[in-house]
Structure 1
């Protein structure tokens, strides 16, 4: 391995701003989003094109230097953070920000991997179209990272995960060749759908440099409600009823527990919950011909009749709707301001969601009755963020280590007993690698390892993420 020779070669291949070695400038690329891990990169490389990514990969392979692909560095699992050896270079796609093409007839957009999710929303919105992936971090996260982690978000119920929104990909492989499948085809049965290997691979099989994305008509008609829940609401039954009664026009169905709502630093809170917390329910349509407010009103009446809701407010304008969404989207920041939390990104089948939450809460109470929980998430698609709040005055890092060692395994076991997963949308990264070894089906894990060694036998790409070497 020759880090010095690699950096010298990179300086010849790329322009000055593309190569960052100043320690004071490296810092923001070396620490994960939650500040749970800080690594050491030998350099941060900022290519402007796919050709420059190829040059980086070839030089890295020649000199034995590992590469860590990085988008907006918003991973919750350390998936875009270098290790501590200073033998890996971060490849930031932040300068690859071109919109390559927008097809209004075919409802597709082609983009560089470094385009932020917000920039995609802005570009397609001006054309009367919409992209179905929405995240709280969309101002900083990039589409390459979203695809590499198979991101979810607030509209999975309607549009699916990132995997469901990708039509084509361009990927630089560990040998420096380019996998080019940038085709906007919705039907293409020509053998294995190879692009799917890279979606959710967390940069471990190659560097995504471009994507063709599926678009939809812009949902410019909304009906949004803030529902104050009665105690112990049957969330699974509620979402099933909501889908039927709305003709599946539900885009989002977000649950917020009473403790999560109490974390708000707004005084007094603008929107409060009932004894069972709150729901944020939104129906959308691309046409005003469908009376969404009437549909939503009818749904809420059913909730009241069945004793599931105490009160509800339907947004009467954009300002109220924005405030409702702001209340939901600020929850991670509210947790952080309160001292942080140990996050459990759990999913279960909808029919098991209520039983999982009851049993998991009981497990926490048995472990330590003083612990407080912040439960919220995209209950419409079975994704529950089951977060243990850091007690006042406790060291966040030490508390996190203790919970993950002593309590988290039981929570994951309960999720798996109900047919669920320990990682719904955050991925594996560095932090959950041991969980994958413990809980993944043995045959699946074997296939993952076989794919890794077949495509990246030298473990050039994101070594230490997803799999140990």
Structure 2
């Protein structure tokens, strides 16, 4: 069969509206989020039911056509981008976006995998419940992609990663088999926890079509503070103090350097008056569903203690919802600030909490050795050991060329530093296509071998997102 015959076969399954093969429309689906790579595809397929996904996968397996599952196409690692062969089709779940059920008593929500994260948050909130998963791309990323990358975000310090929120799953295996396990159970000790195989798999083991997610009580009180850090502030000790004294109320512990704050401020129409201390700043937040807890008093007491230790130069407690929103807007505008500057080379570092400061010290030396004039934008979810250690593209420099230069040299030194401290090169962005060589370089050989066995067991024909995450045991497939 010719490529056009293949596309027609998929059109016969999905109807005309379920297949996109117009070159101009395809461009939206074939370039990664950071525009570092553009692949090629025969078509974009848009099923509306799990049965249609199963039919698509079955047909693709019979024809020997590769499949690339895609949610919101917000991957920073090329995990949702087809390769350049033109022999892969994109399976977009954007039409599978239903909220299937909100169960307030079970504190769960059941959704299609194509549901946009923000919409799922809103559906939970309508029942006075909270979906704790929150990240910058929540207005466009989709639940299937969140599962595929084990998304983290702003509340991991309290609620955990996506895998900690996943109760049940529905997925289609590479041979078309439907795995239907959409149960709301907190306890289910009946053999292998198959759903966790799909978490972090980035579409290489199958296509997630539905999920049951754990919810939490909706906070009705918050205390939000901005801490201007002293130059010698020990981040790990500061976090330990806040955790100890606030119990389970701590939801956010976000670190920002002065440069990151300046970038965000420049990109905002009405930036808040808060700024960094000599050591940067922390955005700190407590939240509770109780109407009776005095979070402001607790926050003030803890802040006073941090000042006494001389870890914090000054601190500001938000006095209104508008002040809180302004602080959060500053934090969330950092990526846009980097973009307006001219871009950055992103490093999604994870390190043990006790080693965060050591990493910053060692990484700073490596950057200066590479080029003394480079500027950094460093921020992240330090509450869970995640730093976004970004190298700003020098003004007037081609972003793509600079990115290639840094990733071939300086990036490896930074990853070496993280690995030496027991950390890793990807905290929440995943592996995708761009970082597969890093997994093979830094990953434990036994663990990588186990991953390859899992990939081969699920997808012996190698049709599911080939080229992403891990090589199968056999040679790469030829479509």
TM-score w.r.t. the length of structure 2 is 0.96
Asked whether the 8 Å contact 1:131–1:216 carries over to 2, the reply is yes
**Alpha-carbon distance in 2 for matches of 1:268, 1:55:** 51
Gaps of 5+ in 2: none
Aligned ranges 1:279-358 → 2 under 5 Å: 279-358=282-361
Comparing 272-281 with 196-205, which one deviates more in the overlay? 272-281
Change (3 A) 1:176 1:2: farther
- Which whole-Å deviations, capped at 9, do the CAs of 1:234-255 have from their partners, x for residues lacking one? 1111110000011131100000
**Alpha-carbon distance in 1 for matches of 2:117, 2:256:** 25
Which residue is 1:94 aligned to?
A: 94
- Which whole-Å deviations, capped at 9, do the CAs of 1:41-99 have from their partners, x for residues lacking one? 11001111101101110111111110100000000000000111111111010000111
Comparing 271-280 with 75-84, which one deviates more in the overlay? 271-280
Which residue is 1:75 aligned to?
A: 75
Q: 1:464 aligns with which of 456, 463, 467?
A: 467
Which residue is 1:425 aligned to?
A: 428
Change (3 A) 1:267 1:95: closer
* Secondary structure at the counterpart of residue 179 of structure 2: strand
Which residue is 2:405 aligned to?
A: 402
* Secondary structure at the counterpart of residue 228 of structure 1: strand
Q: 1:416 aligns with which of 401, 415, 419?
A: 419
Q: 2:379 aligns with which of 371, 376, 381?
A: 376
* Secondary structure at the counterpart of residue 169 of structure 1: strand
Which residue is 1:153 aligned to?
A: 153
Q: 1:276 aligns with which of 271, 274, 279?
A: 279
Which residue is 2:443 aligned to?
A: 440
**Alpha-carbon distance in 2 for matches of 1:391, 1:153:** 28
> 1:269 Cα deviation (Å)?
4.4
* Secondary structure at the counterpart of residue 424 of structure 1: coil
Gaps of 5+ in 1: none
Asked whether the 8 Å contact 1:14–1:47 carries over to 2, the reply is yes
Change (3 A) 1:347 1:436: same
> 1:267 Cα deviation (Å)?
7.1
Change (3 A) 1:315 1:204: same
* Secondary structure at the counterpart of residue 389 of structure 2: strand
Which residue is 1:29 aligned to?
A: 29
> 1:382 Cα deviation (Å)?
0.4
* Secondary structure at the counterpart of residue 323 of structure 2: helix
**Alpha-carbon distance in 2 for matches of 1:22, 1:2:** 17
Which residue is 1:209 aligned to?
A: 209
Asked whether the 8 Å contact 1:257–1:375 carries over to 2, the reply is yes
Change (3 A) 1:112 1:267: closer
Asked whether the 8 Å contact 1:93–1:114 carries over to 2, the reply is yes
Asked whether the 8 Å contact 2:168–2:195 carries over to 1, the reply is yes
* Secondary structure at the counterpart of residue 212 of structure 1: strand
* Secondary structure at the counterpart of residue 408 of structure 2: helix
Asked whether the 8 Å contact 1:32–1:78 carries over to 2, the reply is yes
Asked whether the 8 Å contact 1:221–1:286 carries over to 2, the reply is yes
> 1:431 Cα deviation (Å)?
0.5
Q: Flag as ranges the 4+ runs of structure 1 deviating above 2 A.
A: 1-6, 266-271
> 1:6 Cα deviation (Å)?
2.2
> 1:194 Cα deviation (Å)?
1.1
**Alpha-carbon distance in 2 for matches of 1:167, 1:49:** 21
**Alpha-carbon distance in 1 for matches of 2:184, 2:270:** 49
Which residue is 1:197 aligned to?
A: 197
**Alpha-carbon distance in 1 for matches of 2:404, 2:232:** 31
Asked whether the 8 Å contact 1:236–1:350 carries over to 2, the reply is yes
Asked whether the 8 Å contact 1:2–1:63 carries over to 2, the reply is no
Asked whether the 8 Å contact 2:36–2:400 carries over to 1, the reply is yes
> 1:467 Cα deviation (Å)?
2.0
- Which whole-Å deviations, capped at 9, do the CAs of 1:427-459 have from their partners, x for residues lacking one? 000100100010000000000000111110111
**Alpha-carbon distance in 2 for matches of 1:232, 1:397:** 36
Asked whether the 8 Å contact 1:2–1:65 carries over to 2, the reply is no
* Secondary structure at the counterpart of residue 263 of structure 1: helix
**Alpha-carbon distance in 2 for matches of 1:2, 1:100:** 39
> 1:2 Cα deviation (Å)?
4.8
